[in-house]
């Protein structure tokens, strides 16, 4: 596309008064399209962190968004006071959903504050490999954040419902299944 544009630039300059303006506008459009492609490339790679603990401030910002549904094992990121404060706030406004294989003390505290806590393996016979968070989980603009190791780094990938990403819809189905089969404790 850029080569085709460059080949027509001399012809555009022959247009007279409008030629340079058209050239500048077309050039700006090309630069913007390149920017979008670069941004999409980096978004597809996910946010890369040196260590899992480096993700905690980022995830704190994620769970500040509306209606987080968190599928976790032990909520290790909740060891930070800033994360705990955000989780307490979300529990207090009754917009937090936790899906855990077994109850943990901090989840009990959040439940008392108003969080919906679904415990799907109280016997502790299975520990899932997946951990993810969906924000705005009941809306069409929902996003899923999935954290995992990649080599010696830790990556958080984002998948949007509106993009039709299969990973998002599988996670959403898992959350809906757990919510139906493991009702929230009173």
Residue 54's pLDDT band (cuts 50, 70, 90)? confident
Rounded to two decimals, what is the model's pTM?
Answer: 0.74
Task: Quote the pLDDT of residue 35.
Answer: 67
End-to-end CA separation in angstroms for the chain: 60
Could you state, in order of their start, the residue ranges of all structural domains in the chain? Answer: 2-44, 47-181
25, 53, 83, 93, 182 from 75: Cα distances, Å:
50, 12, 10, 20, 18
Residue scoring higher pLDDT (86 or 49):
86
**Helix or strand or coil: residue 63?**
helix
Side-chain-side CA neighbours of 89 within 13 Å: the count stands at 12
**Helix or strand or coil: residue 62?**
helix
Task: Quote the pLDDT of residue 27.
Answer: 74
Task: Quote the pLDDT of residue 31.
Answer: 76
Residue 39's pLDDT band (cuts 50, 70, 90)? low
CATH superfamily of 47-181: Endonuclease Chain A (3.30.870.10)
The CA distance from 75 to 4, in Å, is 53
16-30: pLDDT as tens digits:
566 677 777 777 777
Least confident of 12-21, 115-124, 144-153: 12-21
143-150 and 47-49 beta bridge pairing: unpaired
């Amino acid at each position: 596309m850029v080569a085709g544009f460059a080949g027509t630039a001399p012809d555009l300059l022959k247009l007279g008064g409008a030629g340079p303006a058209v050239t500048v506008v077309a050039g700006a459009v090309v630069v913007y399209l390149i920017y979008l492609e670069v941004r999409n490339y980096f978004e597809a790679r996910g946010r890369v962190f040196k260590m899992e603990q480096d993700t905690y401030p980022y995830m704190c910002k994620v769970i500040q968004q509306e209606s987080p549904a968190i599928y976790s094992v032990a909520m290790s990121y909740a060891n930070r006071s800033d994360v705990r404060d955000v989780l307490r706030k979300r529990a207090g406004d009754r917009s937090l959903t936790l899906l855990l294989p077994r109850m943990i003390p901090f989840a009990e505290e959040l439940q008392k504050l108003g969080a919906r806590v679904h415990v799907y393996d109280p016997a502790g016979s299975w520990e899932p490999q997946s951990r993810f968070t969906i924000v705005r989980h009941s809306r069409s603009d929902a996003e899923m954040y999935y954290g995992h190791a990649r080599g010696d780094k830790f990556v958080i990938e984002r998948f949007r419902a509106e993009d039709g990403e299969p990973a998002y819809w599988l996670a959403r189905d898992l959350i809906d299944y757990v919510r139906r089969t493991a009702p929230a404790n009173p």
